[in-house]
Chain A
Amino acid sequence: MILLEINNRIIEEALTLKFNNAAAGNKPEALDITIADFDGVLYHISNPGGDKTKVQVSISLKFYKDLQEHGADQLIKREYGSFLTTPESGYNVSIVFDLEHLPANRDEVVKKAGLLKRNCFASVFEKYFEFQQREENSQKRAVIHYRDDETMYVEAKKDRVTVIFSTVFKDDDDIVIGKVFMQEFKEGRRQYQQAPQVLFSHKEPPMELQNTNAKVGDNIGYITFVLFPRHTSPAARDNTINLIHTLRDYLHYHIKCSKAYIHSRMRAKTTDFLKVLNRARPEPKNVEKKTFSGKTFKMN
């Protein structure tokens, strides 16, 4: 599993179960699941008002206000139109499905529900991709505080869109491993011409962010993606959004995997060393000896 999935499997499976249940004509059961996803996102699947024939899926993102500024509401309406309902208290968006009137294209609807988080993010990107397609400069930079200490900046120019992620490395060793990863990302263009340009800046914000009050620190890194028209074109747009919005989680996931692998190797090597050391101990000798008169006794 090298790439992270962008859809939420738990939502998809819960909904598929409910839909199949209803389609088979069984009595619907009560449902209440709270799910956490990357970036502090929470989902809640429940029966609104206790009505077991309806299933409601709500999502809460701490940074929804930032996304709303860039048209998240319109995009959500566009994607989920008929299923939208007033957001549950404490959540930002809610969609509801009626089990008694199942939609014709069940699988597609379930897939769309699993992409709730991705669609919330998509609005920012789509807006800026539009700017670039029309060859305009975006006047303002989009700033999304998608995690407590981490921010994403999006800006469009005539011939490119730059997305900058600021990320915090909580551990010093993470910084070193992170640098190795970013080095490989930077060189990716050599092998794949179609890939976007990636730049990495450690401790200080990159040139584009000078004069903003972007954070500085030993454990802060800035990853810049430069997307060209071939990535922002309507045909490639969805794919680009899918890949970009989970970049930070992808990087940290792989850093953690590396650390876990190193740890298991260390364990294996240590047991190996212990075995070699134990060869230095002589084996305990159990000698049975006999005396002249025939008595036997054991010696340790």
Chain B
Amino acid sequence: MSTTLQPYLKAVRQTLTAAICLENFSSQVVERHNKPEVEVRTSKELLLTPVTISRNEKEKVLIEGSINSLRISIAIKQADEIEKILCHKFMRFMMMRAENFIVLRRKPVEGYDISFLITNFHTEQMYKHKVVDFIIHFMEEIDKEMSEMKLAVNSRARISAEEFLKRF
């Protein structure tokens, strides 16, 4: 299973590097406004074809590009109940702090667990290759963190049950 991880991340990295070529583009619809076109979706000619990269049915990444913005949605592997609630809690925790995170979107896109929105303003202030590095790092670390938290809950359960029952 883990043999698919590296090609998966490589594919995501290369797609991102290609899609993150953004330039400033004022809104064609409303005067003097500048909106992320991937969110507004009013003009079809400004949107690129969305690309989905799947590792399996549960884990996938959706990359939607446009002329001045890029939206990345990630679906995280959740094998059982406890992973589901851990994932849900963690994503909610981070999305509440979306302002600090700058590139994080407050609500995930339908069908995914977390979404990022990168605009041309972000790429003007930050190094593009480092932003891509961050996203890839994020994807790796999330899986690790989930398994560690699940392990912690399981071991706490085992130890407390043991302590309790061995006294009988």
With both chains docked as a complex, state the minimum distance between the C-beta of A261 and any C-beta of chain B, in angstroms: 6
B166 within 8 A of A: yes
CB distance from A275 to the nearest CB of B (A): 10
Say whether chain B's binding surface is mostly helix, strand, loop, or mixed.
Answer: helix
Q: Is A289 an interface residue (CB 8 A)?
A: no
Determine the chain A residues whose CB is within 8 A of the CB of B168 once the complex forms: 192, 194-196, 231, 236, 239-240, 243
**A280 to chain B: closest CB distance in Å?**
4
Q: Count the A residues whose beta carbon is within 8 Å of the partner chain — how many?
A: 48
The answer to whether A181 touches B160 (Cβ under 8 A) is yes
The stretch of B3-11, B29-37, B88-96 that contacts the partner chain: B88-96
Complex contact B103–A195 (CB within 8 A): no
Q: Which residues of B contact A262 (CB under 8 A)?
A: 86, 89, 149, 152-153
CB within 8 Å of B: which of A184-204?
Answer: 184-185, 187-189, 191-192, 194-196, 198
Closest CB-CB distance, A177 to chain B, in whole Å?
6
User: Which residue of chain A is the closest to B130 with respect to CB atoms?
Assistant: A280
Q: Which residues of the other chain, A, contact B133 by a CB distance below 8 angstroms? A: 276, 280
> Shortest CB–CB separation between residue B83 and chain A, in angstroms?
10
Q: Does A183 contact B (CB under 8 A)?
A: yes
CA distance in complex: A257, B159 (Å):
13
Q: A258 contacts the other chain (Cβ, under 8 Å)?
A: yes
> Can you list, as one digit per residue, whether each of A146-180 has a CB less than 8 Å from chain B (1) or not (0)?
00000000000000000000000000110011011
Verify B130–A180 contact, CB threshold 8 A: no
Asked whether A279 is an interface residue with its Cβ less than 8 Å from the other chain, the reply is: yes
Q: Contacts of A188 on B, CB cut-off 8 Å?
A: 161-162, 164-165
Task: Find out whether the CB atom of B164 lies under 8 angstroms from the CB atom of A176.
Answer: no
A236 and B168 alpha carbons, distance in the complex (Å): 8
Residues of B within 8 A of A261 (CB): 152, 156
Nearest CB of chain A from residue B91's CB, rounded to whole Å:
10
Decide: B164 and A3 in contact? CB cutoff 8 A.
yes
Q: A266 and B89: CB pair below 8 A?
A: yes
How far, in whole Å, are A267 and B94 apart by their CA atoms in the complex?
9
Contacts of A187 in B (CB 8 A): 161
B158 CB contacts on chain A under 8 angstroms? 184
Q: A176-B82, A240-B168, A282-B126 are in contact. List 13 more A-B contacts (CB 8 A).
A: A180-B82, A180-B154, A185-B164, A189-B165, A191-B162, A195-B166, A236-B168, A254-B160, A262-B153, A269-B90, A272-B141, A273-B134, A276-B138
CB-CB nearest 9 A-B residue pairs: A280-B130, A195-B165, A188-B165, A184-B161, A280-B126, A184-B157, A181-B157, A185-B161, A2-B163
Which residues of B are interface residues toward A (Cβ below 8 A)?
81-82, 84-86, 89-90, 93-94, 97, 100-103, 125-127, 130-131, 133-134, 137-138, 141, 145, 148-149, 152-154, 156-168
Which residues of A are at the interface with B, using a C-beta cutoff of 8 A?
2-3, 172-173, 176-177, 179-181, 183-185, 187-189, 191-192, 194-196, 198, 231, 236, 239-240, 243, 247, 250, 254, 257-258, 261-263, 265-267, 269-270, 272-274, 276-277, 279-282
